[in-house]
Amino acid sequence: MEDILATEFKPKRIIDNPSEQKLREWSLEQGGVITEFGNLSVVTAVRNRIAKFTEVVMGELSQEDVQLVRKVMAYLRDKEMIMLDRVMCQNPGYKRNCRVYFTADYPRIPLMWGNTLFPPEGGKPDFTTITVAEWPEKKVLVFPDSGITLILGSDYKGENKKAMLRQVMYWAKKEGNLGLHAASKILRVFRDGKLRDFGFLLFGLSGTGKTALSCHSQWLRSPERVIIRQDDVVILRSIGSAIGTEESFYLKTEGLEPGMQPLLYAAAISPRAILENVAVNPETGKVDFFDSTLTSNGRAMVKRGDIAFTDSEIDLERVDFVLFITRRQDILPPVVRLTPEWGAAAFMLGESVETSAGDPTQAGKALRVVGTNPFIVGKGEKEGNIFLSILRNNPSIQCFLLNTGKVGGVDRGQKITVRDSVKIIEMIARDKIIWKKDEFWGYEVPVQIPGVDLARFDLNHYYPEEQVREISEDLKRERLEWLSQFPGLDVNIIKAIKP
């Protein structure tokens, strides 16, 4: 691929790093709308990632793909392209230069992507993406060893965002670290009479509550507070710290309102925000975050500085707690505490549900994705083994499964609310939860959580004892079957589920 680019990538004209103001002007000229909040709203043809059309190429290209790439290069000789440079990460040892090319008819994509990362600092690109949004065929070709991604047939900003994040995660793994699809925040709370900072990593597939919980104030009062760091991808170092990657959040707007998500709502109505596929009246600019006519995957690109409780840092000096967000609907309590081996098992299981961000046609369907990370390049078991190694080398890190679904069944079960989850996270930091061991599963379940009425989630309200046993046995069998496909996985991870 590098050889083809070097010899055949010759657009008619390259517009070199246009200003944000110019990109905004062009986006308005090509259909953008100014909303009642004074921010820009755009609508795309493709409204979610095209995951099923994504191919990771390790080694040589197939002849079919070679022909496709050359056909694209020939097409671009008559096209103007916008080139934009940005920097990912702020830690000096982890900064990566990123360069993207977009056909000039789609200025809204570089406008949004450019706001995602940090200003350029010069130097050759470590990662390069070429996007031809108007291409008739949907296809994403990923070349991890050369840091190149080719995106065809998609004008969805999220595709470009993930292209760079996928590359940095692969690079991080080669450097002996682990790129994670996870958010990060700090809770500064009183514990044992002292005001202390606790670093959290929150795992979760797009649309399962990761952003809502990582960008929540926890309703703390000064001098207690949260410090929000990252929303999407971090690099977990072997010493137990986490490196941030981005300068913006790409949040879902479906049902966004100030009561339950005040920080995200305030950021989404900032003049600097860019709304994507959100219902906006073209005559009045009126925004309706509850109207999913365009898609249930409406988004807002917001700057970190427009979210309250952020600061100038994007790294976590120390990770204390890891939360795996899942959305089960049956027997899993609102939270359970895991051993390191169970934490690695939870990482490998990656249990959640499909959302409109991934595949709208399968939204709501239960699924498993290693690390809740659809962007892993390479073997999943290698990631799980690295994760377990990090946990063992940093025994102060505690892992939890956080259920944001229901307990007791889809139709009649008790919903676990955002308020429940927020309070649970606070009490994890305060070390105020009383636990007992679940003999069947080997992890700990809560007996008492201050501020959460656990009686609502008593399984006896919903199932006879024998049915709980049957569901548990079926779930254990499913989990072991899933893990059996990873032959190189540390045996102790499997033993956590099957002692």
Same fold for the domain at 2-30+50-155 and the one at 180-246+314-497? Answer: no
Strands (E), 122-258: 127-132, 139-143, 148-152, 178-180, 182-191, 194-203, 225-230, 234-236, 242-244, 248-252
Query: Which of the residues in the chain have pLDDT under 50?
Result: none
Q: What is the pLDDT of residue 205?
A: 84
Domain ranges in the chain are 2-30+50-155, 180-246+314-497
- Residues 181 and 235: their CA atoms lie apart, in Å, by 9
Q: What is each CA distance from 38 to 116, 284, 288, in whole angstroms?
A: 20, 11, 15
Q: What is the pLDDT of residue 354?
A: 63
Q: What is the pLDDT of residue 130?
A: 98
Q: What is the pLDDT of residue 360?
A: 60
Q: What is the pLDDT of residue 477?
A: 96
Q: What is each CA distance from 158 to 74, 378, 493, in whole angstroms?
A: 26, 22, 33
Q: Are the C-beta atoms of 79 and 111 separated by less than 8 Å? A: no
What pTM did the predictor assign?
0.93
Q: What is the pLDDT of residue 438?
A: 96
Q: What is the pLDDT of residue 212?
A: 84
| 2-30+50-155 CATH | 3.40.449.10
The topology (CATH level 3) of 180-246+314-497 is: Phosphoenolpyruvate Carboxykinase; domain 3 (3.90.228)
